[in-house]
Structure 1
């Protein structure tokens, strides 16, 4: 079955480049502003963000007001977390630290109902199925769910061809900071060794035999020397550029510096 016309997955399959923002603050107000600003998606980060399931739900409600899709990054690759996250009804899910094909296979299985997977069934009562109003949710949700596996270590780069080939993996997302740490270049994603690994990963994914099936796609957190435009030019199709707490921090710092500078100028 083809993906629903306006789902993130369908838009990627149609050749679009998607641009989003990460939400770590779990502020519904921040989420709503981001959605109305025109981002293609809001990524709620449960790996490094401040909240859990109950905190994410008001943010999802806020984003829904602007008809903006949500992607959620789970804190760990367990079926319990995935079950609870998918029952919220996001259009995409990100699995951190996928190091080999076996882990990718398990990640996909957590997203699928038996007999194809191990996702717990509660379709009559969860938000994803409109609390049971969508009686056919279990039959169609797979075609719209964007499953993304993060490559964040040298081991995962070495295994990326097999990770990308796993049935159900729609995108491979790079985690530059963890990748740099894994090769002894802590907090330096611009290091040549890290950049070389990125180019290797990109070439492998872009030449995947699965391309004929509409994937896998390259996804990224745009940080370091590689800005959003750099990733786009290199073939990435799903790019998270901004982060709410970083954007707010930078705006605050700029505001304070501007005012302090005006004080200095006024005394001259």
Structure 2
């Protein structure tokens, strides 16, 4: 029996649109609610939210079989962390702050078993192999792992062609917020110069034969990225949805009950 099929990987590699939501509230209950909302995928964020391996695994458990695919972003592209996340059952990884072709290749090696990579062989202990229930896991796992690298500063943008040339990467994800800061527009991801850089990168990624992705709440930018061929676009964030809803509810209640 082979490793489970990764529908997200199959879809983006064919250019099919996958609409996603960021999960930063670090809670399995929230992840379960989000999985019922209708998004094609969610990103369980370990870089800018208070997630650890156990909270990420709990979210992977409730997302399993939901029809919403789980992507996981580790805090850093570290081989040991990647090994743990894969063993915990993550099949799609988003590696932040990739700045060179050599770094991208190191991430490919980290998700690949020897002799072609360096992923530690511990599948007998792993949730990923259904605790040794998937007999062919070791020989089929790599085919279903989706590796996305995130380019989010000028170094990464300058090295984009080298990154795109790395075999084994499924897609490149552009991070507008960090890119804006590095370009001198901190907090201004909507600046024309930043948008132009983002759209140029999306176009290069698609022409380079990789899937292109982005997280942006800017609907115009979402549309422009899709028009250029971006295939996975995160359009919402659970934290901002919840915080905004709570603030509006509080203000509305106070206004309604004011004498």
Q: 1:190 to 1:253 in 2, by over 3 A?
A: same
Query: SS at the partner of 2:131?
Result: coil
Alignment partner of 1:261 is 2:252: no
Aligned mate of 2:244, from 236, 246, 250 = 250
1:132-170 CA distance string (max 9 Å, x none): 110111211222211101010012111111111210111
Structure 1 partner of 2:170: 170
1:36-92 CA distance string (max 9 Å, x none): 111111211011111200111111111125243211001111111100011112221
TM-score by length of 2: 0.93
TM-score by length of 1: 0.90
Structure 2 partner of 1:59: 59
Q: Is the CA contact 1:189–1:224 (under 8 Å) kept in the aligned structure 2? A: no
Alignment partner of 1:44 is 2:44: yes
Structure 1 partner of 2:232: 238
Structure 2 partner of 1:90: 90
Alignment partner of 1:157 is 2:151: no
1:173-232 CA distance string (max 9 Å, x none): 011110001111101111122122112212211221xx3xxxx11010113465533432
Shift, 1:6, TM fit? 5.8
Query: SS at the partner of 2:124?
Result: coil
Distance 2:163 2:185 in 1: 24
Structure 2 partner of 1:109: 109
Distance 2:227 2:255 in 1: 38
Q: Is the CA contact 1:149–1:169 (under 8 Å) kept in the aligned structure 2? A: yes
Query: SS at the partner of 2:123?
Result: coil
Unaligned runs of 5+ in 2: none
The alignment covers a number of residue pairs equal to 257
Q: Is the CA contact 1:47–1:73 (under 8 Å) kept in the aligned structure 2? A: yes
Query: SS at the partner of 2:231?
Result: strand
Shift, 1:116, TM fit? 0.9
Distance 1:169 1:237 in 2: 15
Q: Is the CA contact 1:154–1:197 (under 8 Å) kept in the aligned structure 2? A: no
Aligned residues: CA RMSD:
1.8
Deviates more, 1:116-125 or 1:11-20: 11-20
Q: Is the CA contact 2:199–2:225 (under 8 Å) kept in the aligned structure 1? A: no
Structure 2 partner of 1:133: 133
Structure 2 partner of 1:147: 147
Structure 2 partner of 1:203: 203
Query: SS at the partner of 1:81?
Result: helix
Q: Is the CA contact 2:6–2:145 (under 8 Å) kept in the aligned structure 1? A: no
Shift, 1:125, TM fit? 1.5
Q: 1:238 to 1:104 in 2, by over 3 A?
A: same
Unaligned runs of 5+ in 1: none
Distance 1:151 1:4 in 2: 28
Distance 2:68 2:199 in 1: 31
Structure 2 partner of 1:181: 181
